[in-house]
């Protein structure tokens, strides 16, 4: 960090962004390295929740120990999340009052995931107006009044030469980042697959 911008919270913000990205991509840890002589860096990393996980006594030169400049590795590990069950969340059809919160949750889910920003929330907005949208199959997940997930179904066609096959597809299936890894997507998928089976839908 450039000296004039140190101690302004920028380093903390960058670390928090890295942690959030690690959670979203389901990484099991963030590992970084510094030198044993870099006391300020060691103090900063420990303050940010990193702990010492290893060292290399000859990473830089063969006399690192004598020079008192040993490579140290620090690691941060996301907390293991508790999986939710069907009794802890409500899975139901979306109402018009839910539209804003569903689109906002979708934006949170995909923001900077595949590229800068995202447009999946706009896809949700447009999909509701399309003739192929299937609201009777689509569902949202709600916990304590908060929309934390959704799955949206629509009709689609597979063209194989002169043959066209009518099928059902789903997109997007998304979960609020802080609830990812808790089984919300699986609950949405299981519930809607049951609905599809009841309606006699075989090609999905």
> What is the SS3 string spanning the chain?
CCHHHCCCCHHHHHHHHHHHHHHHCCCCCEEEEEECCCHHHHHHHHHCCCEEEEEECCCCCCCHHHHCCCEEEEEECCCCCCCCCCCCCEEECCCHHHHHHHHHHHHHHHCCCCCCCCCHHHHHHHHCCCCCECCCCCEEEEECCEEEEEEEEEEEEEEECCEEEEEEEEEEEEECHHHCCCCHHHHHHHHHHHHHHHCCCCCC
pLDDT tens string 93-102: 999 999 999 9
Q: Which of 131, 141, 133 is nearest to 94 (CA)?
A: 141
pLDDT higher at 113 or 56: 56
With tokens 């066609």, the residue in question is 157
| Domain ranges across the chain | 3-76, 90-198
pLDDT score of 40 = 93
Which CATH architecture does the domain made up of 90-198 adopt? 3-Layer(aba) Sandwich (3.40)
pLDDT at 24 over 80: no
Distance CA 24, CA 178 (A): 9
pLDDT at 143 over 90: yes
pLDDT tens string 160-198: 899 988 899 999 999 998 898 899 999 999 999 999 999
pLDDT band with cut points at 50, 70 and 90 for residue 58 = very high
pLDDT score of 25 = 82
Stretch 39-58: mean pLDDT: 96
CB burial of residue 39 (10 Å; 0-12, 13-18, 19+): exposed
pLDDT higher at 4 or 72: 72
Give 142's strand partners.
Answer: 90, 147
The answer to whether the predicted template modeling score (pTM) of the entire model surpasses 0.75 is no
pLDDT at 91 over 90: yes
Distance CA 117, CA 22 (A): 17
Distance CA 199, CA 197 (A): 5
pLDDT score of 26 = 82
> Do the two domains 3-76 and 90-198 of this chain adopt the same fold?
yes
Assign domain 3-76 to a CATH class: alpha beta
Stretch 145-169: mean pLDDT: 93
| Chain mean pLDDT for the chain | 93
pLDDT band with cut points at 50, 70 and 90 for residue 202 = confident
Q: Could you give the angle at the alpha carbon of 88 between the alpha carbons of 83 and 92, nearest 5°?
A: 110
């Amino acid at each position: 960090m450039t000296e004039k911008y140190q101690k302004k919270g920028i380093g903390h913000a960058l670390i928090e962004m890295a942690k959030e990205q690690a959670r979203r991509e389901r990484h099991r840890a963030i590992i970084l390295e510094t030198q044993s002589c870099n006391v300020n860096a060691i103090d900063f990393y420990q303050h940010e929740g990193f702990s010492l996980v290893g060292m290399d006594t000859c990473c830089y030169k063969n006399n690192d120990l004598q020079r008192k400049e040993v490579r140290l590795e620090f690691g941060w590990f996301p907390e293991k999340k508790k999986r939710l069950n069907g009794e802890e969340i409500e899975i139901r059809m979306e109402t018009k009052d839910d539209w804003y919160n569903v689109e906002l949750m979708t934006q949170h889910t995909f923001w900077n995931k595949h590229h800068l920003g995202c447009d999946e929330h706009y896809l949700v907005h447009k999909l509701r107006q399309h003739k192929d949208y299937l609201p009777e199959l689509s569902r949202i997940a709600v916990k304590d009044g908060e929309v934390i997930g959704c799955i949206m179904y629509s009709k689609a066609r597979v063209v194989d030469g002169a043959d066209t096959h009518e099928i059902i597809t789903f997109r997007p299936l998304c979960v609020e980042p802080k609830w990812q890894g808790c089984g919300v997507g699986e609950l949405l998928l299981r519930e809607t697959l049951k609905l599809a089976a009841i309606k006699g839908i075989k090609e999905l």
